[in-house]
Amino acid sequence: MKEKEVKHNVLKNSLEDIMADRFARYSKYIIQERALPDARDGLKPVQRRILYAMYEDGNTYNKPYHKSAKTVGNVIGNYHPHGDSSVYDAMVRMSQNWKITNPLIDMQGNNGSIDDDPAAAMRYTEARLAKISDFLLQDIDKDTVEWAPNFSDEKMEPTVLPARFPNLLVNGITGIAAGYATNIPPHNLNEVIQASIYRISHPDCSLEELMQFVKGPDFPTGGIVMGLDGIKQAFQTGRGRILVRSKVEVVPTRTIKQIVIHEIPYEVIKSNLVKKIDEIRLNKKIDGILDVRDESDRTGLRVVIDVKKDIDTEQILNYLYKNTDLQVSYNYNMIAIVDKAPVQMSLADSLDAFIKHREDVVLKRSKFDYEQKSKRAHIVDGLIRAVSIMDEIIHLIRQSKNKADAKKNLIERFDFSEQQAEAIVTMRLYRLTNTDVKELKQEQSLLKKEMKRLHAILTDVNTLHQVLIEELEEINAKIHTPRLSEIQAKVQEIVIDKRAMVADEMVMVPITRDGYIKKVSMRSYNASNTDPTGMKDSDSVLAYGSCSTLDTLLFFTNRGTYGYLPVYEIEEGKWKDLGSHLGNYIKMDSNEKIIQAYFLRSFNPNVQVIMA
């Protein structure tokens, strides 16, 4: 018996072509279905699936909380076949009011903190949709959005939510895809809605007109946003850089001054900020900081920095703005998916994408409602007619063999439609009362009125726009969101004068011929009982004397060169310590010897120094 021939389809391709093809597919998936938000509802797929799964499960704001683990299970099992931690992390972020001004999820239990503490495990926390999420999901069951099969083709999921407010701008988003990244900060809900209303009425308005409403970003952590030019550039092109500075106040007390920080920049981890300021204090990078502590509690954020009474607090703040996250830069990069492709969007573009989506949703909803009301009106017309000839209808039904025969006889005898005949044969006897006829006529009148309104929405663009405006105004009235971030037009330049941050104190400074130097407090010097200062055996003291921390040390070497060093920059030590070499502060040869040194308060250009 002849063996069967087995044919192998061998694809011969270079590794380069195979990698290019596979990476292109992967990139497309990451861009369209993972990391970037849709311009219409401002959500990534995982966020949309979480919200829809909670809505489908009846886990809404007016119902009891469900365990977070239940929601995560529903999302993974039905819509999002990825790791549970990625789904739970997305859930937690949507519930954190320091990340989102208007959280979309109401979570009960430990959902993390501004100190970057992790949330409790999903088996411990409970969640439900926040009230504002109702406006994202409203009318989803009225054929308003496109649906697609889920990963297993068992269910259908929405490709976008109806979204009654511009969520992309309101809650902002960050994401990194392949070749694209998005970084959109949160904006004020009421401002963005006012701008949307204005844009509907004035579709060709300028950016300046829109910026009368949207002043700039509005971070949930507050702070001061500086740089109107950066905001304008971001709103015009989708890219721009702004500075976000903490809100602070200086409180003088009897013995010290306190710098109190009430608000910090967006996405800055408070505990890391406090730790960094404390490191500056411990390393004595600037003089004058006595203590830093976090006094935040459930009433609000409060970080206190104690400084010496005679120190210029403005200089200390300038140093902290420059060297810590007390001030950070934020880069706008407004990229979202429009028609399945990533697009860099201006403020006007993002509003237009939302308005176009809402027009589409309201038209589809109106069409759905019109068809439903039209069907009902048809049945009500039949019931009203039936009541007037009810005796004949009852006689006819009693003579019929069964329900199907009764319907057939009604259609043939009285010219009722299939739907009307079905309604008549299933009608209960109590509906034959006089009251019910009045109710049917009232319902008929209301249906005609409603159908007329829906027809106007479907045929007249001005009526459609009026509905959009009314719905936006309703959200504005129901959810009042005060602005948290202050906008400053100009960027304040940071000027650091180190001398202004130095307390004027008397210290003892010894300097040796080999160039070893240290700054000793008068208390440490007086406690030394005039013992010789610490130095190497081969070295000798050239000079020592008391001077102010604001003085400058001027020294000359045996090479005929000179150098100078502010006293406050000299490392502090004890009288018996060796000290540090001048080479640590100034570039000089290790063999150079110091031959003379002076302490000066100021440099006089007319003074000449002669040594022999």
**pLDDT score of 4:** 59
Q: Which of 96-105, 484-493, 512-521, 533-542 has the highest mean pLDDT?
A: 96-105
- pLDDT reading at 1 higher than 60: no
Please, which pLDDT band fits residue 361 given cuts at 50, 70 and 90?
A: very high
**pLDDT score of 285:** 77
Mean pLDDT of 260-270: 95
- pLDDT reading at 7 higher than 70: no
**pLDDT score of 331:** 94
Residues 233-249 pLDDT 10s: 999 999 999 999 999 99
Residues 137-160 pLDDT 10s: 999 999 999 999 999 999 999 999
Radius of gyration of the chain (CA): 38
Q: 449: closest CA among 369, 385, 388, 379?
A: 369
Residues 366-403 pLDDT 10s: 999 999 999 999 999 988 888 888 888 888 888 888 98
**pLDDT score of 493:** 79
Lowest mean pLDDT among 11-15, 77-81, 354-358: 11-15
Kindly state the tokens that stand for 414.
């009285």
Please, which pLDDT band fits residue 5 given cuts at 50, 70 and 90?
A: low
CB–CB of 74/84 below 8 Å? no
What does residue 274 show for φ and ψ, rounded to 5 degrees?
-65, -40
124: annotated active-site residue: yes
**Cα–Cα distance, 521 to 532 (Å, whole number):** 16
Residues 63-94 pLDDT 10s: 999 999 999 999 999 999 999 999 999 999 99
Q: What is the 3-state secondary structure (H, E, C) of 152-208?
A: CCCCEEECCCCCCCCHHHHHCEEEECCCCEEEECCECHHHHHHHHHHHHHCCCCCHH
- pLDDT reading at 433 higher than 80: no
What does residue 119 show for φ and ψ, rounded to 5 degrees?
-70, 160
Mean pLDDT of 344-361: 96
**Cα–Cα distance, 160 to 181 (Å, whole number):** 21
Q: Which residue is catalytic, options 61, 124, 562, 564?
A: 124
Residues 291-304 pLDDT 10s: 999 999 888 899 99
**pLDDT score of 2:** 52
**pLDDT score of 599:** 87
Residues 558-593 pLDDT 10s: 888 888 888 888 888 888 888 888 888 888 887 888
Kindly state the tokens that stand for 460.
């007249």
**Cα–Cα distance, 62 to 50 (Å, whole number):** 18
Percentage with pLDDT > 70 across the chain? 97
Kindly state the tokens that stand for 11.
């694809």
| Mean pLDDT value across the chain | 90
Lowest mean pLDDT among 14-28, 81-95, 228-242, 341-355: 14-28
- pLDDT reading at 31 higher than 90: no
CB–CB of 375/367 below 8 Å? no
Kindly state the tokens that stand for 334.
């407004």
Rounded to 5 degrees, what angle do the CA atoms 355, 358, 359 make? 85
